[in-house]
Structure 1
Amino acid sequence: MEKTTIQVNMNTLDRLKSVKRHTRESYDEVLNFLIDEAQDDELTSEEIENIKIALDNVKKGKVKPIEQVAKKLGITLK
Structure 2
Amino acid sequence: MNYTELTDQEVIARALEGREAAYRELIGRYERPVFSLIYRLVRDRERAEDLAQDTFIKVLNHLERYDPTYKFSSWIFKI
- Please state which band the TM-score falls in when normalised by the shorter chain: under 0.3
Instruction: Calculate the TM-score normalised by the size of structure 1.
Output: 0.25
Q: Which has the higher contact order (CA 8 A, sep 6+)?
A: 2
- Larger % of helix: which? 2
Larger radius of gyration: 1
